[in-house]
Amino acid sequence: MGGRNREAGNPFWDFSLAVYGREGVAAACLALQDRHGLDVNLALYCAWAGHRGRALSAVDLARLTAVARSWQADVVAPLRAIRRHLKALTALPESAAEQLRTRVKEIELEAEAVEQRMLYEALPVADGRGAPAIAGGNMVAYLESLGIAPDATDVADLAAIARGCFPDLPPLQAVWAVTG
């Protein structure tokens, strides 16, 4: 996620930029992505829906997953792989590789914004009064929909995301929000 607003009028995008920029959230999202291959945009959508008071059903999660699956697999993931490969290349002059990596990163971010627009339009969520337990429950339900039983490391990462959504939430309450 970056700082530029590429999706004006999409409150989910605005929320994601704010939350992703908070302490520990980016690292938690990327750790979950690397460990389980989950879609960070979907995890953030789950948190956003909970922040707005919407508990997601299994049907909601299946619908969102179906919307995002091919875009994530065919567009976002390949761009991420290219960006990571460029970072690892040592044979290219650093400046040339870094310039190209920066451009790919910008395109990757635009692809993330498109996916977030797709999710936002697929299942609009009215602004409402959310709760950490709803956001935590949605994120856990997303992991479980992927066949992942969250372990202690996953719970810690989900709690970090919950704290990013609700900055005044004490750490222990964030864990409770995720573990129910």
CA pair distance 161, 1, nearest whole angstrom: 14
Q: Is the pLDDT of residue 3 over 50?
A: no
How far is the CA of 102 from the CAs of 76, 77, 122, in angstroms?
15, 16, 30
- Taking the mean position of all CA atoms in its chain, how far away is CA 167? 17
Please choose, from the candidates 166, 140, 138, the residue with its C-alpha nearest in 3D space to the C-alpha of residue 151.
140
Residue 2: pLDDT band (50, 70, 90) is very low
Q: What is d(CA 169, CA 68) in angstroms, rounded to the nearest whole number?
A: 30
CA dist., res. 12 & res. 162, Å (int): 15
pLDDT digits 0-9 by tens, 77-107: 999 999 888 877 766 666 777 788 889 999 9
Report the chain's terminal Cα–Cα distance, integer Å: 29
**Rounded distance between C-alpha atoms, residue 122 and residue 139, angstroms:** 18
pTM of the model: 0.90
CB 59 within 8 A of CB 135: no
What's residue 145's pLDDT? 96
User: What is the C-alpha to C-alpha distance for residues 144 and 136, in angstroms, rounded to an integer?
Assistant: 12
Q: What is the predicted pLDDT for the residue at 159? A: 97
**Per-residue pLDDT averaged across 9-21, rounded?**
94
The DSSP element (H or E) to which 42 belongs, if any, is: helix 40-51
Q: Is the pLDDT of residue 5 over 50?
A: no
The DSSP output letter for 54 is P
E-strand spans in 26-179?
A: none
